[in-house]
Structure 1
Amino acid sequence: MSEQKTNHEEAPAVNEQELVAYIASKTNEDPIGIRQVLKHERAFIDNVKEDAKGEINVDIDELVDYIMARKDVKLSEPSVEAILESEMDFYMEKGEAGYIED
């Protein structure tokens, strides 16, 4: 099981349009669906407590389950996972996030 790791206090100012375009180019998903996934991901992450370093650790399986349970999400689980993985790739390429393994 892997977790996403980001520094919540120093969250980067991201151009959402650039992020959505990047994810769409990697997943071929519709920007509307991508934005829904990102909106629910943000709500989930906002409820995760920071560790002593100001970082948050997100269990990707719990995040996917949370997003899939939202009534407005019409995407398949593999599509949601692909969107989240592409988003992580985007942040990793910018040096803003990384993975930790359990």
Structure 2
Amino acid sequence: MNQPINEREMIAYIAGKTKADPQAITLILKHEQTFINSAKANAKGDVDIDSDDLVDYVLSRRDVKLDELTVERILDAEMDYLMDKGLAGYVD
């Protein structure tokens, strides 16, 4: 059974690792969710997200004022958090 993600805790974790502004983190995660929700699942029902495509998408949003490295750090820290909680993993 999947436990719900504590968004406040996750944002605090990401802010602690990246020193990014929590409001900027929230914005990046919102755009990330939009990108993931629009991704097409394959025949197995899995959604394969290319991290470079995701970063490019986030950076293309008009309201994102962060540089590419900061966006990558935020997304990496989010993945670290989700993996620590057992909620996500990488597929080879």
Structure 1-normalised TM-score? 0.82
Alignment partner of 1:54 out of 45, 54, 60 = 45
What residue identity is the alignment partner of 1:41? E
What residue identity is the alignment partner of 1:90? Y
Q: Which runs of 5 or more structure 2 residues have no equivalent in the other structure?
A: none
Measured at CA, do residues 11 and 46 of structure 1 come closer, stay the same or move farther in structure 2, by a change above 3 Å? farther
* Superposed CA offset, 1:3-28 (max 9, x none): xxxxxxx8752111011001001000
Considering only aligned residues, what root-mean-square deviation do their CA atoms show, in Å?
Answer: 1.6
Measured at CA, do residues 84 and 71 of structure 1 come closer, stay the same or move farther in structure 2, by a change above 3 Å? same
Alignment partner of 2:28 out of 26, 34, 37 = 37
* Superposed CA offset, 1:46-75 (max 9, x none): 011223443321100000000000000001
Measured at CA, do residues 63 and 46 of structure 1 come closer, stay the same or move farther in structure 2, by a change above 3 Å? same
Alignment partner of 2:55 out of 61, 64, 70 = 64
Alpha-carbon distance between aligned partners in 2 of 1:40 and 1:56, rounded to the nearest angstrom = 16
* SS of aligned partner of 1:85: helix
Q: Which runs of 5 or more structure 1 residues have no equivalent in the other structure?
A: 1-9
More relative contact order in 1 or in 2 (CA 8 Å, sep 6+)?
1
Alpha-carbon distance between aligned partners in 1 of 2:9 and 2:30, rounded to the nearest angstrom = 15
